[in-house]
Structure 1
Amino acid sequence: MDAQIAGSRRSAWGNTNLRTRTLLLAGILAMASPGAAQIVGSLLPPDALSGLAKTKAQSFADYQGRCVLVEFFAYW
């Protein structure tokens, strides 16, 4: 009988702990300000993409009006 009471106390404590963590996370996410979002159609910074395998560097202006996929990959 005592084991059931102790188990229910632990269960209630676990639920309270989970509820507290969830509310804390929700509060942190609500207070977080979003970063500076890029607006669709805005200009990119005037940087150049470095070329690989002895190819020339490309500017973002070379791709104006085109869809660009930039893939970041690294061998570790």
Structure 2
Amino acid sequence: MTECIYTVSGMACGHCAGFVTEEIERIAGVLAVAVDVETGTVTVTSNRDLNVADVRAAVEEAGYELTTATG
């Protein structure tokens, strides 16, 4: 299993977290998504290494911006 932490700007509430979670969960291999709106971080657990471009596209589809990726 792989865990990556992404910083996403523009999230302000639980609804924002829901939109981001929904889009990221559509990526093949994603097992879990945990969003912390206060810190602007999204922790993604997957069964394989994810392409950052795929995660960025999912975040942008939700209406937000991925600013950094670690892990």
TM-score when normalising by structure 1: 0.21
Greater RCO structure (CA 8 Å; 6+ sep):
2
TM-score when normalising by structure 2: 0.22
Instruction: Name the larger-Rg structure.
Output: 1
* Greater share of strand: 2
